[in-house]
Amino acid sequence: MGMTMTQKILAAHAGLPEVKAGQLIEADLDLVLGNDVTAPVAIGEMKKMNVDCVFCKDKIALVPDHFTPNKDIKSAELYKCVKDFAKENEITNYFETGRVGIEHALLPEKGLVVAGDVVIGADSHTCTYGALGAFSTGVGSTDMAAGMATGKAWFKVPSAIRFNLTGKPAKWVSGKDVILHIIGMIGVDGALYRSMEFVGDGIQYLSMDDRFAMTNMAIEAGGKNGIFPVDDLAIEYMKEHSTKEFTVYEADEDAEYDEEYTIDLSALRPTVAFPHLPENTKTIDEVGEVVIDQVVIGSCTNGRIDDMRIAAKVLEGRKVKDGVRCIVFPATQAIYLQSIEEGLIQTFIKAGCAVSTPTCGPCLGGHMGILAKGERAVATTNRNFVGRMGDPESEVYLSSPAVAAASAVTGKISGPEELGL
């Protein structure tokens, strides 16, 4: 029986000729990731182990991006814990405030992940790197500790769901709309324990930033990982950003899938997930009148250059509605700088937006944009759980950058078409 892309990558890293769904394996890791919230717990666990040092100082990435720039004294202690550990262990890929970015935008940009890699990260959105044809998945701090010490992790080989994407998406439909549509279709546990493999002629119309947004949210369907085949666009991206050698794995023709879906991208509309689950989706035509207090444009899902460009295109020459706060945070310093060079930041500031240094802050209700009781936000982030962005009685609506920017202008959930775009 054939193997899926994910199964082939796992087999190669376990030193096995083949693996089957359900099999327990131990795989070699190409990269172990942690942030300022999860790494301190992992560092504490690693100290309990009978090891003197990390398995490889070049294969660990420590990215303090959650409560940074340090939001309070306790967060500053977490940051310092990560910093001291990085220094002690001479970690190559530790990123100080000012050079740091949101981890899942930063690592591909820095060329630290390429096709064929196996990556674990103590952050659930580690599944993002599947856009490059890597196997990557979120784990907890104890797994991170074990990974840092041994360079290995145990996995149950996942079965897979195949999403055959066809057609070309319409003007304002992005990767975010595609993944929200899929989560709306299969539910927040629709891909539980499984891989989500995205294939088909339609992927040629999805930019790398579209694909990163899609694999990023595989976890919101319960998936173990999301993955794309490696095409010319992905190869071009890796050559531009990385000097690492990459390996392209293709699914066997007779690979087995638990389920298969065909999705016509040309039929999709901008899509919004209503509170309090990413599966509560409606198309922009079905949203009705939802008045908002805040807009957040950024995050590991939608803080990349394409996202900044789309938001700026909508906000160009327009103003954020009176009484609405619009916060834009490019995901990395390179994206921030490019946004300045392209004049996007000027557009945001002239429109009345706050522009922030890269941080996960508002997405998880950490800092830099917290909601009061009863307030509503449209956000290009990935979760709209109860209390996610602040008070347990606040609400988060998930959307693409185009819908978020248009909503900032009208003060209610709106598509760009409402602005005549």
Partner 1 sequence: MEAKGRVFKYGDNVDTDVIIPARYLNVPDAKELAKHCMEDIDVDFVKNVKEGDIIVADKNFGCGSSREHAPLSIKASGVSCVIAETFARIFYRNAINIGLPIIECPEAAKGIEAGDIVKVDFDSGMIYNETKGTQFKGQAFPEFMQKIIKAEGLINYINNK
Binding site for partner 1 (CB under 8 A): 24, 37-38, 40-41, 44-45, 48-50, 66-67, 71-72, 74-75, 78, 121-124, 126, 138-143, 145-146, 149-150, 154, 188-189, 192-193, 219, 222, 224, 277, 364-366, 383, 385-388, 392
Q: In the bound complex, what is the minimum distance in angstroms from residue 402's beta carbon to partner 1? A: 26
User: Which residue's CB is nearer to partner 1, number 343 or number 387?
Assistant: 387
Contacts of 176 (CB under 8 A, 6+ apart): 210, 213, 214, 217, 271, 301, 302, 380, 399, 400, 401
Q: Kindly tell me which of 33 and 132 has the beta carbon lying closer to partner 1.
A: 33
Look at the block and give the residue holding tokens 């709106």. 414
Tokens, residue 324: 């609405």
Q: Least distance (Å) from partner 1 to the CB of residue 272? A: 19
Helices 333-341 & 344-351 angle (0-180, nearest 10): 80
CB of 338 to partner 1, least distance (A): 29
Nearer to partner 1, 92 or 124 (CB): 124
Q: Residue 48 or 289: which CB sits closer to partner 1?
A: 48
Q: CA 206 to CA 216: how far, in whole Å?
A: 14
Q: Which is nearer to partner 1, 197 or 210 (CB)?
A: 197
Cβ 48 to partner 1 shortest distance, Å: 5
CB closer to partner 1, 290 vs 364: 364
Q: How far is the CB of 86 from partner 1 (least distance, A)?
A: 17
Minimum separation from the CB atom of position 196 to partner 1 (A): 13
Distance CA 180, CA 280 (A): 9
For partner 1, the closer CB: 147 or 358: 147
**Minimum Å distance from CB 65 to partner 1?**
13
